Structure 1
Amino acid sequence: MTIRLSTTIAFLGTFLLATQLGAQEVKKDDPSKTYQLLDLFGDVFEKVRTDYVEEKTDQEIIEAAIQGMLSSLDPHSSFLNADHFKDMQVQTKGQFGGLGIQVSMDPSGLIKVISPIDETPAFKAGIKAGDLISHLDGQPVNGLTLNQAVDKMRGPVGADMTMTIRRNGEKPFDVTVTRAVIKVPSVRHHLEGDVGYIRITSFTEQTEMGLKKAVDAFNEEKGDRLKGLVLDLRNNPGGLLDQAISVSDAFLNQGEIVSTRSRRVEDIQRFNARPGDIADGLPIVVLINGGSASASEIVAGALQDHARALILGTRSFGKGSVQTIIPMGTNGAMRLTTARYYTPSGRSIQAVGIEPDIKVEIARIEKIGTGVGTREADLRGSLENTDENAEERQKKVEAERNGKDKEEEKPEDYQLSRALDLIAGIALYSEMPRTTEE
């Protein structure tokens, strides 16, 4: 008799899920039922072990059964074997190997890109948030768990991986990405005139420190001339909860930042801000988009609910669930969804995301109305200028035109431009003299 291992694993996953979630209720009615189900698991395990067409180790079968149980709960619960658990611990420290994309499992069975990480091979190859990966090196991803797919994306540094991408109804196309060691500074910053720009790519152990260094650098260079901050959380897939809380706390003087609510009322946690605003009340604009998830949404939601910042961009990803990493000794760990996030006003982020206060789509700016187009000198048969210095002046004009063309080729970050305009407007309004009538 031939047994398909994938079907068996799916069955084991369903069985174990029912056992885990329903065990307490089953015990109330018929305690013996639980033991009958465990016997069933043992029988199926033994059949797979002895009769499956290819030999599988006991560890492979049991880990697959556990993975089936956890992955059937939601897209974010999973089993991490010892190697994957070690990789995850490295990632949260801000350095890891791979392509440079954060992914989740799409309901279609394909791998969905939450966001590419800035300046990584995937980012440079043009991978975008929302892309669906259907094949890895020509092999379909359907039927793979998220961990299995991620495993295939890993490999020796310098080795290529070809991904088949589906994007917004376009024809599928292949992108080849070269694996590299990904070193990601979670915070980058620079000044845009008198406005401080802070880009947080992910929430790692280094994020809070990086944020404070950025603000200190702005204050040192600009002092009282600093007009505000832009906090860019676009395509930030999230990360450590404590870092999201710390970043929010840095700009809030008081009040709740976020709460996590699980099945048991006694497990509800509320995290509150401590006095102190590192921006000293300056206006803040937070940029978000569909690639802003989890910890990013916590920060955006907290600052929005406390009216501490204006949120600009497009609706965020909507990952409002809490995953707890539970070590399982030397066997790895399990990532289990244990709670939901709620913003200070009591909004659940899950599947809804954060709606921006000001919706600004990514736009392609056309350079029009500049008065630079076809000129007299461009017309066929036009008269030449016979002045003595005409040639020299013409060279100067051409040099200026070439310079402008190069400037116009530089892409504009439309959302960032609107954020800078907004802060400039707020700063201007706050500086306007006030008059009172008596």
Structure 2
Amino acid sequence: MKSSIVRALWLSFIMIIAGAHGALAQDQSTGPMSDDEVYQELNLFGEIFDRIRDEYVDAPNERELVRAAIQGMLTSLDPHSGYLDPNDFEDVREDTQGTFGGLGIEVIMENEVIRVVSPIDETPAARAGVLAGDLIVELDGVEVRGLSLDQAVDKMRGEIGTDIELTIVREGRDDPLNITITRDIITFRVVRTSVRDNVGVIRLARFTGQAYAGIEDGIRELRSEMGDDMKGLVLDLRNNPGGLVDQAVYIADAFLARGNILSTRGRTDDENTRYDANPDDLDKLIADIPLIVLINGGSASASEIVAGALQDQQRATLLGTRSFGKGSVQSIIPLGENGAMRLTTSRYYTPSGRSIQAAGITPDIEIFQDVPEELQGRDLLIGEAALDGHIDGGTEKEATTGSSVFVPADPDKDNQLKYAVDLINGVETNEAFPPKADN
């Protein structure tokens, strides 16, 4: 009797969740299931849950069973959907605010191991030598295989000042590499500015809640410092893994007076949105200033929104190597005291209608770095297209070759930055700078 009551309550709960949050599972060979078929599948789930509770060799933690089932359901959709328990949800909120504890790396799950998308500038991971494209296979000697992405991230976080050993596999290296990193509070400046040969350089490390404010301050400071001597601007988005979409829209708007920036398309009308630029004092301040945007294989998501908008609107020349190709939008849906779910709800499209999902953005000018011999071949990242279960983009061919993520620490050895500055200064040709679009 007890099992039957639990199963009935469980099925009611599942049906409420399914009705509230949309798409139910589909058998691709037969199309969408009927309501009766859905209920049969849910009944099977309830039966298995009851058998585990009653017959497993040790009494299971039922809460963990339910959350593992939810996690499995979400992670089966694509690499970016997942369940966030209350602690993970709080970590996400801290992350987007720009201050959090941990190592300082942006990661994704790939073939049951952790792939580093990008180490964050001036963090413990970056200082310890972790590189974009590294595969983390063990954490303190414990295999990553079998962990969810959120579980692995949780293990990498910890008490400030404590050490963790990452076992890393790098392409082209025969033996795994063990790197010990001391955890620290990750508080970093998302925007840094510099001047090279009368060219303002703005480095944006991540799209946190402070990104647009940092870009605005950087533009105004550079304009005030150089005045009419400013010959151009370089916006460096290399190895920027993305972040908040609204910040990407604000930053693209900073360089555009009008025209489309971004549109999103999903299954429901609520997910179909369009974002357009509006004239303001900031874009007037740099309206006649040539702009180059630097991208590479580690430039993802919000970075690709900005780069794609400025490329399509002919406001900037893109220089570097192909971007990562993450063109999907994840909504964080709070679940009260139970945390939240991260669900892919739409794809985003550049002004010309391109979906960059699994394809990335190709720069107008492809420039390669002089990669040190010991890193050659290991600096390449295919990106989104290499992730198991990724959704397709629909408008562009998927990437099949790797794109470099290497950026030298010494700006004097940075071929991409040097080429951009030379181009602005007329060492090559200024034909790369079309007039600002009027549409």
TM-score by length of 1: 0.80
Q: Deviations over 1:367-420 (max 9, x none)?
A: xxxxxxxxxxxxxxxxxxxxxxxxxxxxxxxxxxxxxxxxxx996122111111
**Residue 299 (structure 2) pairs with residue 295 (structure 1):** no
- Specify whether residues 359 and 47 from structure 1 end up closer, same or farther in structure 2 by C-alpha distance, changes over 3 A only: same
Indicate if the aligned counterparts of 1:19 and 1:34 stay in contact, CA closer than 8 A: no
C-alpha change, 1:427 and 1:249, in structure 2 (3 Å) is farther
Q: Distance in 2 between matches of 1:329 and 1:55?
A: 27
Q: Deviations over 1:133-191 (max 9, x none)?
A: 11111122112111111111111111111111122221221111111100022111121
Q: CA deviation at 1:241?
A: 0.3
Instruction: Say whether 1:146 aligns with 2:153.
Output: no
Deviations 1:310-343 (A, max 9, x none): 1111111110000001001111100000001111
CA distance in 1, matches of 2:139, 2:316: 41
**Pairing of 1:30-179 with structure 2 (within 5 A):** 30-106=34-110, 108-171=111-174, 172-179=176-183
Q: Could you say which residue in structure 2 is the equivalent of 1:183? A: 187
> 8 Å contact 2:26–2:32 — kept in the other structure?
no
The residue correspondences of 1:239-250 to structure 2 (distance < 5 A) are 239-250=243-254
Give the corresponding residue for 1:418.
419
Corresponding letter in the other structure for 2:47: D
1:20 to 2, 21, 24: 24
1:279-294 equivalence runs, <5 A = 279-294=286-301
The runs of at least 4 aligned residues of structure 1 exceeding 4 Å deviation read: 16-19, 26-30, 426-430
Residue 330 and residue 363 in structure 1: after superposition, are their counterparts in 2 closer, same or farther (change >3 A)?
same
Letter of the 1:330 counterpart: E
SS at match of 1:102: strand
Amino acid at match of 2:348: Y
- Correspondences of 1:240-319 after superposition (within 5 Å): 240-264=244-268, 267-276=271-280, 277=283, 278-319=285-326
1 CA distance for matches of 2:32 and 2:237? 48
Which sections of structure 2, spanning at least 5 residues, go unmatched?
1-13, 374-409, 432-439
How far 1:125 sits from its partner (Å)?
0.9
SS in 2 for 1:304: helix
Provide the secondary structure at the position in 2 that maps to 1:205.
coil
Match for 1:138: what amino acid? G
Residues 61 and 191 (structure 1 numbering): CA distance in 2 closer, same or farther, change over 3 Å? Answer: same
Distance change in 2, residues 1:193/1:30 (3 Å): closer
1:210 to 208, 214, 231: 214
In the alignment, the residues of structure 2 paired with residue 303 and residue 335 of structure 1 have an alpha-carbon distance, to the nearest angstrom, of 28
Counterpart-to-counterpart distance in 2, 1:48 and 1:339: 36
In structure 2, the partner of 1:369 is: none
Q: Secondary structure at the match of 2:97?
A: coil
Q: CA deviation at 1:236?
A: 0.5
What is aligned with 1:221? 225
CA distance in 2, matches of 1:254, 1:426: 31
Q: 2:370 — aligned with what? A: 363
Q: Deviations over 1:6-35 (max 9, x none)?
A: xxxxxxx9xx99982349xx9997533333
8 Å contact from structure 1 (residues 95, 181) kept in 2: yes
Change (3 A) 1:228 1:160: same
Greater alpha carbon shift after TM alignment, 117-126 vs 155-164: 155-164
Higher Cα Rg, which structure: 1
- The one-letter code matched in structure 1 to 2:209 is E
- 1:224-239 counterparts in 2 under 5 A? 224-239=228-243
Amino acid at match of 2:76: S
- Cα offset, 1:423, TM superposition: 1.1
Deviation (angstroms), 1:208: 0.8
What secondary structure does 1:119 align onto?
Answer: coil
Give the fraction of aligned pairs with identical amino acids, expressed as a percent. Answer: 53
Cα distance change of structure 1 residues 149 and 192 upon mapping to structure 2, 3 Å threshold: same
8 Å Cα contact 1:227-1:424 kept in structure 2: yes
Specify the SS of the correspondent of 2:307.
Answer: helix
CA deviation map 1:92-122 (0-9, x unaligned): 111000010000011x221111100000000
CA distance in 2, matches of 1:19, 1:305: 33
The code of the aligned residue for 1:110 comes to V
Q: Deviations for 1:330-363, whole angstroms, at most 9, x for unmatched residues?
A: 1110000000111111111101101111111121
C-alpha RMSD over aligned residues: 2.7
Give the secondary structure class of the aligned counterpart of 1:316.
coil
Considering Cα pairs closer than 8 Å and 6+ residues apart, tell me whether 1 or 2 has the greater RCO: 2
**Native 8 Å contact 2:412 2:418 kept in 1:** no
Change beyond 3 A, Cα 1:365–1:85: closer
Q: Secondary structure at the match of 1:190?
A: strand
Task: Please give the secondary structure, in 2, of the residue aligned with 1:92.
Answer: helix
3-state SS of the aligned residue for 1:48? helix
1:204–1:36: structure 2 CA closer, same or farther, 3 Å change rule? same
C-alpha change, 1:30 and 1:254, in structure 2 (3 Å) is closer
Say whether the 8 Å CA contact 1:136–1:162 is kept in structure 2: yes
Q: Which amino acid aligns with 1:153?
A: M
Distance 1:261 1:273, change over 3 A: same
Provide closer, same or farther for how the CA distance between residues 363 and 37 of structure 1 changes in structure 2, counting only shifts above 3 A: same
Instruction: Report the CA distance between 1:364 and its aligned residue.
Output: 4.9
